């Protein structure tokens, strides 16, 4: 089965498709508006890097397997790309086999339930490919992401990665 055969994922308000280099402007915008508490390697540096061109190159190399990978989130009514959502392997400390959910939307569209809707579709995509447990790591200060994770059925594991500079990360589990 080709990894893209289940794509795009369609929900009542959204379409999720494989990310393409043309999505780099949106990804750059996400990096620009990230909370200053996010670690520096996940924010733009003083020179604006990663640039849109650098992000486009990275996106072109992203793997998408059956039920895994980052997908662009688009609104159905106008096709605007508003963020990304997906499942990635290897993002959980000390659990290299683990699959982690990741989502990020533009600030202008937050608070409308899009992250929850997109993540539900991505979780169903993963489950259809045989995925069991899914993990999430969320900064303790990120109440919006913790709310999304809770609505999706993620529960705190009690594992906390302490970080005095950027805020503690909580390990959550679903399934």
- Average model confidence (pLDDT) for the chain? 92
Q: What is the full DSSP assignment across 9-66?
A: EE-SSEEEEE--GGGHHHHHHHHHTS-TTS-GGGS--TT-PSPHHHHHHHHHT---BT
CATH of region 9-174: 3.40.630.30
- The pLDDT score that the predictor gives to residue 78 is 97
Q: CA dist 94 to 32, 66, 90, 104, Å? A: 30, 24, 9, 24
* pLDDT beyond 70 at 43: yes
The pLDDT tens digits of the residues spanning 86-134 come to 999 876 766 767 899 999 999 999 999 999 999 999 999 999 988 889 9
Rounded average pLDDT over 23-37: 96
Can you give the pLDDT at residue 63? 83
Say what the pLDDT of residue 3 is: 47
- Residue 1: what pLDDT? 40
Q: Looking at residue 66, what is its pLDDT?
A: 74
Does residue 81 register a pLDDT over 80? Answer: yes
Structure tokens at 4: 């893209």
Sequence-distant (≥ 6) Cβ neighbours of residue 54 within 8 angstroms: none
> Which residues have C-beta within 8 Å of that of residue 49, sequence separation ≥ 6?
none
* Residue 129: per-residue pLDDT: 87
Map residue 168 onto helix, strand or coil.
coil
Q: Domain-by-domain residue ranges, the chain?
A: 9-174
* pLDDT at residue number 64: 76
Instruction: Band the pLDDT of 6: cuts 50, 70, 90.
Output: confident
- Picking from 27, 122, 23, the residue whose alpha carbon sits closest to that of residue 67 is 122
Q: Residue 148 belongs to what H/E stretch?
A: helix 143-151
- Compute the average pLDDT of residues 43-53: 96
């Amino acid at each position: 089965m080709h990894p893209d055969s289940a794509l795009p994922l369609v929900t009542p308000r959204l379409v999720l498709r494989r990310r393409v280099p043309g999505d780099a402007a949106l990804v750059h915008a996400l990096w620009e508006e990230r909370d200053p508490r996010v670690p520096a390697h996940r924010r733009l540096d003083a020179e604006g890097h990663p640039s849109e061109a650098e992000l486009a190159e990275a996106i072109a190399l992203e793997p998408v397997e059956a039920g895994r990978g980052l997908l662009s989130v688009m609104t159905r009514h106008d096709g605007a790309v508003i963020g990304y959502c997906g499942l990635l392997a290897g993002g959980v400390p000390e659990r290299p086999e683990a699959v982690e959910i990741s989502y990020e939307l533009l600030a202008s569209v937050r608070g409308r339930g899009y992250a929850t809707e997109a993540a539900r579709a991505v979780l169903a995509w993963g489950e259809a490919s045989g995925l069991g447990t899914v993990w999430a790591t969320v900064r303790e200060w990120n109440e919006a992401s913790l709310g999304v994770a809770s609505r999706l059925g993620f529960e705190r594991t009690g594992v906390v990665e302490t970080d005095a500079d950027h805020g503690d990360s909580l390990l959550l589990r679903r399934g």
